Amino acid sequence: MESKIRKQWKMASLDEIKRFVLSSFTEVKKNPCPVDQLRRFTDHTRRNSCGECVICREGLLQLAVVTESITQGLGREQDVEIIKDISADLVLGSGCDYGKEVGRIVSQRIAENAEDLTRHIKRKRCDTLVCNKLLTFYVAPETCTGCSKCVDICPVSAIAGGDRLIHVIDVSLCNRCGACEDVCDDKAIIRAGAVLPKLPEAPIPAGSFQVETEASGLMSRKRRRKSE
């Protein structure tokens, strides 16, 4: 195994630390989902901890693991409290400013995005459609050319189709890995929430799909609001 250089934040100036932490955060902020931002931020900062103090080494690791599980739809009710406890302790008890700076940002983001976090955990929903495991992929029937690339790449064979036929994703089989999205040249793989537009139930020839009026989609959205 090659030896990687370990960061030595104890030796670094406050300015240097602030610059590093802030730039780490700016980098992840391009991502629209606040929970996924947190996941990326804590993962990146835990990988750069010097690792000597428990709260920074294990605390950041725990934050990274907890936020990742939330973005995967495996969030538990106590996770919000865990994140709050750890970030508060990072600010209070870190041995150097690295942990404190990271803790401050996490605390602040938790306070500002409490609702997003709760929606991820309780409703298993990512409003920004960033967290793969919390959304639904479907093939836009009007765009799909039936090239079969997505059919071939799907690791769980959840996509039905054939040459020049509009492909159809079986939601119950799909593992939301997003491989089809990456491989599609026509941008026909679409991310959606729990509600899908009207789609063909089985593959039909490409170009033969009739786009419906939006009425049913709107109505279903209304129904959902009521139940919320």
Is 66 a residue that touches another protein (CB under 8 A)? yes
Is 181 a residue that touches another protein (CB under 8 A)? no
Closest by Cα among 94, 43, 89, 48 to 66: 43
Among 86-94, 104-112, 143-151, 197-205, the segment contacting another protein (CB under 8 A): 86-94
Task: Confirm if 139 and 168 have CB atoms less than 8 A apart.
Answer: yes
Is 150 a residue that touches another protein (CB under 8 A)? no
When the beta carbons of 96 and 144 are compared against another protein, the nearer one is: 96
DSSP three-state, residue 189: strand
Rg (CA), the chain: 22
When the beta carbons of 54 and 173 are compared against another protein, the nearer one is: 54
User: Minimum distance between the CB of residue 27 and another protein, rounded to whole angstroms?
Assistant: 16
Task: Confirm if 142 and 211 have CB atoms less than 8 A apart.
Answer: yes
Is 104 a residue that touches another protein (CB under 8 A)? no
Is 85 a residue that touches another protein (CB under 8 A)? yes
Among 4-12, 109-117, 138-146, 215-223, the segment contacting another protein (CB under 8 A): 4-12
Half-sphere exposure of 165 (CA within 13 A, CB side): 14
Contacts of 170-178 with C-beta under 8 Å, sequence gap 24+, read: 171/136, 171/138, 171/196, 174/136, 174/137, 176/132, 176/133, 176/135, 176/136, 176/137, 177/132, 178/132, 178/137
Is 50 a residue that touches another protein (CB under 8 A)? yes
Is 61 a residue that touches another protein (CB under 8 A)? yes
When the beta carbons of 62 and 128 are compared against another protein, the nearer one is: 62
Closest by Cα among 76, 77, 120, 85 to 106: 85
When the beta carbons of 54 and 195 are compared against another protein, the nearer one is: 54
- Binding residues for another protein, per CB under 8 A? 1, 3-6, 46-47, 49-55, 57-59, 61-62, 65-66, 69, 78, 82, 85-86, 89, 92-93, 95
